[in-house]
């Protein structure tokens, strides 16, 4: 009798020894699954927050009426609202690229304002001519000195690229505000070359306007 009881106890003990490792393995597999789920959830939250952070930067108009006659120019960034300009008449805002906005308008005749707004920085000019969207190379004029400058946005180091006292500009139609002559048609092409375009005095044999066109390479280098 004692021998049978001993055999039963031994058999049950052996079964427990066989079952115990499997339970331990299942337990650890369950814990590992939980850790993987938590890790994926955490990574998803980080990615989602980064996407959201990129989307919240913008510059917009807050206008007093539907006609947009008088508006505030506002920057939204990092859950903060900053007033760039208040109560401006008929302002406009263009998105230059993902990191830059251009806010501009008229402040009289002749008078313009041009603000370039990034997430962390701000720049401005009153004599805007053209901007290279790829490298932020700004072309602006100095009507008092009769020259055109090139410089990178958020950088005050500028260089003269054109002196309008040179003979090649004698027939260019200009007034007291030089930028008015070049602003409408001047542009940067896809290769970063500046096409400086302005109307000339007089017309051709068909009565059409004549234009000055000068290509300048590496303006901000």
pLDDT per residue rounded down to tens, the chain (221 residues): 544 544 544 455 555 555 545 555 555 556 566 766 666 666 565 555 554 445 689 999 999 888 888 999 999 998 899 999 999 999 999 999 999 999 999 988 889 999 999 999 999 999 999 999 999 999 999 999 999 999 999 999 999 999 999 999 999 988 889 999 999 999 999 999 999 999 998 877 888 889 999 999 989 87
Q: Are 182 and 147 in contact (CB under 8 A)?
A: no
**186 DSSP assignment:** -
Determine, yes or no, domain membership for 121: no
Tell whether 107 and 140 lie within a shared domain: no
Determine, yes or no, domain membership for 18: yes
Which residues have C-beta within 8 Å of that of residue 153, sequence separation ≥ 6? Answer: 100, 116, 121, 123, 131, 136, 137, 138
Beta strands in 136-180 (DSSP E): 137-142, 147-152, 158-163
Q: How many domains does the chain have?
A: 3
- Domain around 179: 127-221
Tell whether 135 and 166 lie within a shared domain: yes
Tell whether 168 and 187 lie within a shared domain: yes
Q: Are 95 and 119 in contact (CB under 8 A)?
A: no
Determine, yes or no, domain membership for 26: yes
Question: Where is the domain boundary, 14, 29, 55?
Answer: 55
Give the 3-state secondary structure of residue 176: coil
């Amino acid at each position: 009798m004692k021998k049978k009881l001993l055999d039963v106890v031994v058999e049950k003990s052996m079964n427990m020894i066989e079952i115990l490792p499997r339970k331990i393995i299942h337990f650890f597999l369950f814990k590992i699954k939980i850790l993987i789920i938590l890790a994926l959830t955490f990574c998803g939250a980080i990615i989602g927050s980064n996407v959201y952070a990129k989307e919240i930067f913008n510059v917009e108009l807050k206008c007093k009426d539907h006609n947009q006659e008088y508006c505030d120019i506002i920057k939204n960034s990092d859950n903060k609202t900053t007033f760039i300009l208040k109560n401006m008449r008929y302002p406009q805002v263009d998105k230059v690229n993902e990191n830059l906005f251009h806010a501009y308008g008229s402040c009289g005749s002749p008078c313009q304002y041009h603000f370039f707004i990034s997430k962390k920085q701000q720049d401005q000019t009153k004599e805007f001519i053209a901007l290279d969207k790829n490298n932020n190379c700004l072309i602006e004029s100095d009507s008092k000195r009769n020259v055109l400058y090139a410089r990178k946005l958020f950088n005050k180091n500028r260089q003269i690229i054109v002196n309008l006292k040179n003979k090649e500009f004698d027939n260019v139609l200009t007034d007291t505000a030089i930028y008015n002559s070049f602003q409408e048609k001047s542009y940067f092409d896809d290769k970063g070359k500046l096409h400086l375009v302005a109307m000339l005095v007089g017309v051709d044999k068909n009565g059409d306007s004549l234009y000055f066109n000068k290509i300048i390479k590496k303006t901000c280098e």
